């Protein structure tokens, strides 16, 4: 029977404590830590949950952790694209281009269902992403999307505007 996430982490920690209590040399302890790849042994659902808690750029960066994590980001089920994560500090057009290119490539390379898609940007940037937005909606419609959130605000305003649309099976059913 497969171990739960909690049992897996607990057993790995127990091994470490046992080794330290029974006089293993520091070299052996370090070697055993390197040999055991605890994070790669996590269940796929837990890895997805971890990635969904990270900013999208950092989630993609987990591809460097191990072979198991190399393409895990490409099957995330909840996506949050925040334009602010691509800001260099001077509100340049380069920031917009980097954000659009990253989002295009991410959605193009994504495989599997996307249950939730959030896009958080400024209103005038949302208008300038027009062609991209249509392409993203097409890609999402092919990935069994359940919920789309478009969050935008007007520059120099603290009042966000939010559009939320949830899909259900009845709406997607064909007669």
* pLDDT confidence band for 95 (50 / 70 / 90): confident
Sequence-distant (6+) residues with CB within 8 A of 140 are 107, 114, 117, 148
DSSP string over 63-128: GGT-TTTTTGGGG-SEEEEEGGGG--SS--HHHHHHHHHHHHHHHHH--S---EEEEEEEHHHHHH
User: Is the full-model pTM beyond 0.85?
Assistant: no
Does residue 158 or residue 174 have the better pLDDT?
158
Among the ranges given (26-30, 72-76, 133-137), the one the predictor scored with the smallest mean pLDDT: 26-30
CA distances from 165 to 12, 24, 146, 148 (A): 42, 57, 8, 5
Q: What's residue 76's pLDDT?
A: 93
pLDDT (tens digit per residue) in 132-173: 888 888 889 888 899 999 887 765 555 555 666 676 654 444
Q: Tell me the average pLDDT across 3-27.
A: 48
What whole-number distance in Å separates Cα of residue 174 and Cα of residue 157? 42
CA distances from 30 to 11, 24, 42, 75 (A): 17, 10, 21, 33
């Amino acid at each position: 029977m497969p171990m739960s996430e909690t049992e897996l982490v607990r057993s790995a920690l127990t091994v470490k404590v046992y080794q330290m209590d029974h006089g293993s040399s520091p070299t052996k302890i370090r070697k055993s830590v390197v040999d055991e790849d605890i994070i790669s042994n996590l269940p796929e659902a837990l890895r997805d949950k971890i990635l969904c808690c990270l900013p999208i750029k950092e989630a993609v960066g987990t591809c460097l952790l191990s072979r198991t994590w190399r393409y895990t980001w490409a099957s995330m089920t909840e996506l949050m694209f925040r334009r602010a994560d691509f800001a260099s500090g001077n509100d340049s057009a380069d920031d917009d281009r980097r954000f659009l290119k990253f989002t295009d490539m991410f959605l193009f390379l994504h495989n599997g269902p996307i249950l939730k898609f959030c896009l958080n940007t400024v209103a005038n940037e949302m208008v300038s992403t027009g062609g991209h937005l249509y392409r993203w909606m097409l890609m999402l419609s092919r990935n069994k999307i359940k919920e789309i959130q478009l969050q935008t605000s007007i520059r120099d305003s603290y009042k966000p505007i939010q559009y939320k649309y949830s899909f259900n099976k009845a709406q997607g059913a064909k007669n």
